[in-house]
Amino acid sequence: MTKPLTNNDSDSSIFKKFNLLFVFVSIVFAIILFVFYKLSHNEINQFIWLKYLFIGIALVLFAIILFLRLILSKIKIEFEDLNKSNQGTLEKLSKIQKKYDSKEESYQKLLGLNYAMNNTALFASVSQGGSVVYISKKFTTLLSINDKDKKLPLEEILSTDIGEQQTIHQLLKETRSSIWLGEVEITTRNSKKLWLEMSIIPMNQLKNNQSILILCTNITDRKASQKEIDKLNEQRFKKEVDLQKEQASQIVEAQEEERKRIAKDIHDGIGQMLTALKFNIESINTSNVDSSSKKIEKLKEVLSFLIKEVRTVTFNLTPPELSDYGIVATLNKLANQLSNFTEKKVLFENKTDFNGRFDSLIETNLYRVVQEAVNNALKYANSNYILISMSHSDDLLSITIDDDGKGFDVNKLKKNSSMGIFFMKERISYVNGRIFINSIKDKGTRITINVNLPS
């Protein structure tokens, strides 16, 4: 902004010079009077004309100086008024300059906003009748329209599809006093499908012609991504449902197999022994004491085998030691019984002398997993030596089942998991534990079960 000019300094210099001149003239006049006084006392008559001449000149000069001083005093007052007026004018000019600078700044901001609206925003202004008042350059480029198309109603500018046009027209018609936010699908003139996130903002009414602002965001890519995500989620959900169906079918099948196994054990073992017991009892002849005595001894042997078989079946179902003495005693008995029944070396080792107890549900699942691992080693791996070892730390119990069987390919197992392995993983996961399976073909298998100890 230009610095205002002032004449105060020059005016003061003029008046100072005049005052010095007035003082000088006054001194000269005083000197003349003094000379005149001396000459009068000396009574030099021949210089009387000279005296009057000096007096006349001095009076004239004094009168002129006095007159000029009066005039300059008035001029000074006029200058002061003029300076005050000039100062007010300069202040007004300063205010005008500030307003001009502010307007210039606002104008530049408006230019920037106009550039942003035209080149970065999908923006349009629409009258109540639906005709376009203004549409941004970026919107025009996105819709592939020309100046002739801008004269059409907004719904025809946005889409070439009749159904979409009716939807947009209805939205514009219903928007009166509140803002509408939503997503709209449009079809451009080059038959391209786009999705717009649209905001319809009603403005103040001007002469009963309400103006509506349209702000849009192109969300076509986001919609495509969301559609792809939904498709993947649907496929994953379907896969999970199919997996659950398959697992449910396998569980039902396993339950049926377990029922068949129990029925077979009862039929082949207990059933046959009961049948033999029945025939032996019926064949007893009370009149023949010696024969009856031998048959009674035979009945005792059958009853002993029957009791043993019943205990074996019930132990396989739910061992009573599990609820009475805990997981340690039950695993020890499991190893002893399997070693006796199968004539294979099945051993149990409690390395850290663990004697703690768990919740009955955890102990049952741990027992079933160990039982399944040992049965798999006996049935499928042809193992001759199986070691069940147990160890613990302050917060973790670890159970390891090692066998010297033929092993298997762990990678293939992950792809085609057997029902036994599946149930083992499900049971351990149910009690928030972890299971690790390591196997080397023809060198055996190690299964490790880790579960947190109760505090």
Which pLDDT does position 190 carry in this prediction? 87
Distance CA 428, CA 443 (A): 25
Task: List, for residues 364-396, the tens digit of each pLDDT value.
Answer: 889 989 988 998 888 888 899 999 999 999 899
Same domain, yes or no: 269 and 355: no
Token pair, residue 79, equals 């200058």
What residues have CB less than 8 Å from 315, skipping those under 6 apart? 333, 337
Same domain, yes or no: 243 and 308: yes
> DSSP states of 104-117 as a string?
HHHHHHHHHHHHHH
Token pair, residue 218, equals 């192109």
Same domain, yes or no: 146 and 175: yes
Which pLDDT does position 416 carry in this prediction? 46
Contact by Cβ (8 Å): 198, 214: yes
Residue 104 lies in a domain: yes
Strand 345-350 relative to strand 385-392, pairing: parallel
Residue 307 lies in a domain: yes
Residue 2 lies in a domain: no
Same domain, yes or no: 136 and 45: no
Which pLDDT does position 44 carry in this prediction? 46
Q: Which residues are paired to 435 by β-bridges?
A: 449
> Domain range holding 244?
221-317
Taking only Cα atoms into account, the Rg of the chain, rounded to an integer number of angstroms, comes to 59
Residue 1 lies in a domain: no
Which pLDDT does position 138 carry in this prediction? 85
Domain termination site, one of 62, 96, 115: 115
φ, ψ for residue 410, nearest 5 deg: -65, -35
Which pLDDT does position 85 carry in this prediction? 78
* Intervals of the chain under pLDDT 50: 1-6, 43-45, 206-208, 415-416
Cα 97–chain centre separation: 50
Distance CA 248, CA 211 (A): 62
Domain termination site, one of 99, 115, 131: 115
Cα 76–chain centre separation: 78
Contact by Cβ (8 Å): 61, 28: yes
Distance CA 349, CA 208 (A): 95
Residue 3 lies in a domain: no
3-state secondary structure of 210: strand
Contact by Cβ (8 Å): 382, 405: yes
Task: List, for residues 92-110, the tens digit of each pLDDT value.
Answer: 888 888 887 777 777 666 5
CA distances from 338 to 71, 316, 371, 386, 396 (A): 141, 11, 10, 10, 27
Domain termination site, one of 166, 198, 218: 218
Residue 446 lies in a domain: yes
Give the total number of structural domains in the chain. 4
| Whole-structure pTM value | 0.44
